[in-house]
Amino acid sequence: MHYFVHESSYIDNDVKVGDGTKVWHFSHVHTGVRIGENCSLGQNVNVGNNVKIGNGVKIQNNVSVYEGVELEDYVFCGPSMVFTNDLTPRSKYPKGSEGYKKTLVKYGASIGANATVVCGNTIGRWAMIASGAVVTKEVPDYALVAGVPAKQIGWVCECGVPVKNNYDCKDCGRSYTLRDGQLKEK
């Protein structure tokens, strides 16, 4: 075994965990999950059936990644952020996994603490969701969104620093251009 699982955590059958990954205290990884290499699952993380998690993903404490959610490589999920997987839940009328809406969080995206991502949406590459935001629609690549419901308030560089009107990052030097309402690296 080339990964670490704390003795208080549970890993169900038919789970694949990549080398260098760490699963910390009181976490549960359900059947059919695929977790990439060098990931970190913090305390009290629940990963639902058949979830796919890429390489280098960091999931902070108290996050549930429900069935129907996919996290590509290098996604960051802040403490106590929330994913949903059913737009119209009723305890009396459970839909089962066939009724779950899919959510995709693309490469390098970050979701802040206590944010909520409503199911059926895609979070774009390198997008940044502010703490406490409620995402109710698609988020473009490199977009910075905040509020309830979340609205785009700017653009961010791959390194995470907001970029202004010239779309050049003052920290790392990357340059971007805005084409057809989408930020693209030059």
Q: Report the number of distinct structural domains present in the chain.
A: 1
Asked, for residue 92, whether it belongs to a domain, the answer is no
Asked, for residue 135, whether it belongs to a domain, the answer is yes
> Which CATH number goes with the domain that contains 38?
2.160.10.10
In sequence order, the β-bridge partners of residue 154 are 144
Query: Quick check: 127 pLDDT over 90?
Result: yes
pLDDT band at residue 181, thresholds of 50, 70 and 90? very high
Type of residue numbered 74: Y
Render pLDDT for 33-75 as a digit per residue (tens, 0 to 9). Answer: 999 999 999 999 999 999 999 999 999 999 999 999 999 999 9
Render pLDDT for 3-40 as a digit per residue (tens, 0 to 9). Answer: 999 999 999 999 999 999 999 999 999 999 999 999 99
The answer to whether the CB of 3 falls within 8 A of the CB of 18 is yes
Asked, for residue 14, whether it belongs to a domain, the answer is yes
pLDDT band at residue 78, thresholds of 50, 70 and 90? very high
Residue 14 is part of which domain span?
4-87+97-185
pLDDT band at residue 165, thresholds of 50, 70 and 90? confident
Query: Quick check: 1 pLDDT over 80?
Result: no
Per the rule left: phi > 0, alpha: psi between -120 and 50, beta: everything else, 102 is beta
Asked, for residue 83, whether it belongs to a domain, the answer is yes
Asked, for residue 53, whether it belongs to a domain, the answer is yes
State the pTM of this model: 0.97
In sequence order, the β-bridge partners of residue 128 are 110, 144
User: Given CA atoms 166, 145, 34, 57 in this order, what sign does their dihedral have?
Assistant: positive
Type of residue numbered 5: V
Asked, for residue 138, whether it belongs to a domain, the answer is yes
Higher pLDDT, 24 or 95: 24
